[in-house]
Amino acid sequence: MTCLSCSDLHVSFKLDRCTAKAVRGVSFDIDDKSTLGIVGESGCGKTMTALSLMRLIPDPPGKIEKGSILFEGKDLLKLPEREIRNIRGGRISMVFQDPMSSLNPVYTCGFQIIETINQHLSIPRKQAEELGEKVLSEVGIPDPSRTMTSYPHQLSGGMRQRVMIAMALVCSPRLLIADEPTTALDVTVQAKILDLLHHLRETKSMSMVLITHNLGIVGDIADNVMVMYAGEVMEFTSCKELFENPLHPYTRNLLQTIPQLEVKKERLKVIPGEVPTLQNIPSGCPFHPRCDQASERCRNEHPGLTLSSPDHHVRCFLYDKQA
Ligand SMILES: Nc1ncnc2c1ncn2[C@@H]1O[C@H](COP(=O)(O)OP(=O)(O)OP(=O)(O)O)[C@@H](O)[C@H]1O
Ligand SMILES: [Mg+2]
């Protein structure tokens, strides 16, 4: 069954002199109990897509211009604010990119966890405390009762991230969105948090969206992968297919940037050129200035997202059967 269906999502930002389009016609489905990886370089619209699912785009300057997000029979973009507040943190929850800015430094972790529980479940305080401790232990916190009484600054970065994940899980969401859950952490802690997400994926019956700029990370966890560039979906397919048969030149470039132990003597590849700013997205295919297979057509015409094989979508003229 489909858990969430996003279709033709457009998000824009009002800047001084123009309107910049951060998300341009993004569509995807997430099945129940499956994990979608959203991958792409910085600034390509991953966070804005995720924030739209919770209707958390800062408005102004941001605005969801168009689209629909169907979840449990309702279009989230049409719900009154009161109803979306009930869904946020309850049926859909999110682990934000920056854990320090989303935990409040002046309250204990326990206070913040219980506050989240109280917003969504009407259970007595004692039971809420027990639930909080249970979830903290589920995310691998060794001393949950002590952590309940700790302030965020008293915890290490890895433990803070676990608290964030616990807060997101405490009301048993149907969909968990994790936005770059490991970027602020050192490599060994990163690996532990990824193990935790992997474990949650196996043990909880929820769907997940995992956002990262590192394709290597989604390889272990995601079922499907959506590759984004300049606010658009460039490729969408199963994780297995993406690694075995990557089609878009951008995806192939991203795959070459994954560090591999066997080739550690080689310098890591980088994708030449830069992600375009929203004010000057190139005409035609937005990736054409950085693409070594670009033709005249790519400079002038905007490619649509086409089906190259069942369940493998790609936005590139190289696979355009009509051409
Ligand atoms: N408050 C804002 N005002 C103007 N533009 C914004 C604002 N927030 C985001 N944007 C623009 O929206 C675009 C998409 O941003 P988004 O945060 O979704 O990128 P991202 O893919 O999550 O990148 P990262 O990997 O760096 O987190 C960016 O180009 C950014 O400049
Ligand atoms: Mg982001």
Q: What is the CATH number of the domain that holds 236?
A: 3.40.50.300
pLDDT of residue 182: 83
Residues 162, 165: Cα–Cα separation, whole Å: 5
pTM for the complete prediction? Answer: 0.93
Q: Which domain holds residue 311?
A: 2-91+173-319
Q: What pLDDT digit, counting tens, does each position of 50-76 carry?
A: 999 999 999 889 999 999 999 999 999
> Around ion ligand 2, which residues have CB less than 5 A away?
47
Q: Which residues, at least 6 apart from 205, have a Cβ–Cβ distance to it below 8 Å?
A: 32, 33
The predicted pLDDT at position 176 comes to 95
179 plus 291 within the same structural domain: yes
User: Which atom number of ligand 1 is nearest to the Cα of residue 58?
Assistant: 1
| CA-based nearest residue to 134, from 169, 175, 181 | 169
Domain match, 256 and 285 both: yes
Give the torsion sign (CA, 1, 120, 164, 13). positive
Which positions of the chain have pLDDT values less than 50?
A: none
Distance of CA 116 to the CA centre of its chain: 21
Q: Same domain for 118 and 214?
A: no
Whether residue 264 is found in the same domain as residue 298: yes
Residue with tokens 């474990």: 199
- Shared domain for 181 and 230, answered yes or no, is yes
Residues 307 and 183 in one domain: yes
Ligand 1 pocket, mutate which of 41, 211, 277, 278 (most atoms under 8 A from CB): 278
Q: What is the pLDDT of residue 8?
A: 98
Residues 82, 111 within the same domain: no
**Ligand 1 atom with least separation from CA of 48:** 18
pLDDT at 64: 97
Which residue, of 172, 188, 207, is where some domain finishes?
172
Of all protein residues, the one whose alpha carbon is nearest to atom 19 of ligand 1 is 43
Instruction: Give the end-to-end CA distance of the chain in Å, rounded to a whole number.
Output: 35
Alpha helices in the chain (DSSP H): 46-53, 81-87, 99-102, 109-120, 125-138, 144-148, 157-169, 187-203, 215-221, 239-244, 249-256, 296-300
54, 60, 53: which is closest to 85 by C-alpha?
A: 54
Q: What is the pLDDT of residue 197?
A: 87
Answer for the pair 21, 10: CB distance below 8 angstroms, yes or no. Answer: yes
Question: What pLDDT sits at residue 266?
Answer: 59
Give the model's pLDDT for residue 261: 53
Local structure of residue 276 (DSSP, 8 states): P
> What's the 272 CA to ligand 2 centre distance in angstroms?
21
The verdict on 159 and 278 lying in the same domain is: no
What's the domain count of the chain?
A: 2
Point out the domain boundary residue: 118, 146, 172.
172
What does the alpha-carbon distance between residue 267 and residue 251 come to, in Å, rounded to a whole number? 19
Q: What's the pLDDT tens digit per position in 262-315?
A: 555 556 677 888 888 888 889 999 999 999 999 999 999 999 999 998 899 999
- The verdict on the CB of residue 304 being under 6 Å from ligand 1 is no
- Together in a domain, 164 and 303: no
What is the three-class DSSP state of 124? Answer: coil
Tell whether 168 and 228 lie within a shared domain: no
How many C-beta neighbours within 10 Å does residue 81 have?
Answer: 7
Residues 57 and 116 reside in one and the same domain? no
Residue with the two structure tokens 């979508």: 313
Q: Are residues 145 and 10 both part of a single domain? A: no
Question: In this predicted structure, what is the pLDDT of residue 18?
Answer: 85
Beta carbon of 13 within 6 Å of any ligand 1 atom: yes
- Of 123, 148, 172, the residue at which a domain comes to its end is 172
Residue 83 has what pLDDT? 94
In one-letter notation, the amino acid at residue 93 is: S
